[in-house]
Amino acid sequence: AQTVTQSQPEMSVQEAETVTLSCTYDTSESDYYLFWYKQPPSRQMILVIRQEAYKQQNATENRFSVNFQKAAKSFSLKISDSQLGDAAMYFCAYSTGGTYKYIFGTGTRLKVLA
Amino acid sequence: GAGVSQSPSNKVTEKGKDVELRCDPISGHTALYWYRQSLGQGLEFLIYFQGNSAPDKSGLPSDRFSAERTGGSVSTLTIQRTQQEDSAVYLCASSSLAFSYEQYFGPGTRLTVT
């Protein structure tokens, strides 16, 4: 069975600094998708970034980028130039290609210090 | 609509009462998901609807939980004879395609069973 593990329950970063959130997953599939979602205190889950497993190039979205290590089954999120608005719960998620089932990690709470 | 909406935002109910939670997905989205998010936990899959196909109810924790989706749009999650362990945030998400695509989440309903 597929699993998603986020080993950091909580992280802190100074404003304007860079932080990396870890995510590992376990699967025997070769075709899958990985996601990072952000959940601020408003509870609205928002997609931050998405990575297709068949793509070797790491996805980037402005200040957000991933380090996708397929062999190691690792999918970390790097936030550069952290802003106060980045403070939220971050969830890593996995979905096997061609299915609708998503598996979420338990989340990492990110605090941004002014 | 502009996004996924859920009502009520918060619901406090007494143990043993029935509750109904509503989800209005983004217009035109054929896939709809319900998740449960307990404090400090990730998202737990409950049920999935796709078009006119039979829903995947494999995540419903007990027969006290049921869900309907009328006309391929609005969905209602019903919890009968609520228990204290049902207290959680219930999130709804919709997607334009079923497979491995971004899910758009609603703000959730926080259910508290006293």
Nearest CA in chain B to A31: B100
pLDDT digits (tens, 9 = 90+) for B50-96: 888 889 999 999 999 999 998 878 999 999 999 999 999 999 999 88
A47:B103 CB<8 A: yes
Q: Distance between CA atoms of A92 and A21, rounded to whole angstroms?
A: 9
Cα-Cα end-to-end distance for chain B = 34
pLDDT digits (tens, 9 = 90+) for A41-82: 888 899 999 999 999 899 999 999 999 999 999 999 999 999
| Nearest CB partner across the interface for A33, out of B43, B48, B100 | B100
3-state secondary structure of B22: strand
Residue A42: per-residue pLDDT? 82
Q: What's the token pair of residue A28?
A: 């025997």
- Are residues A111 and A87 in contact, defined by beta-carbon separation less than 8 angstroms? yes
Greatest mean pLDDT among A104-113, B1-10, B41-50, B65-74 lies in A104-113
The two beta strands, B10-13 and B109-113, are parallel
B33:A102 CB<8 A: yes
On chain B, the residues whose CB falls within 8 A of the CB of A42 are 107
Count of residues in chain A? 114
Higher per-residue pLDDT: A75 or B101: A75
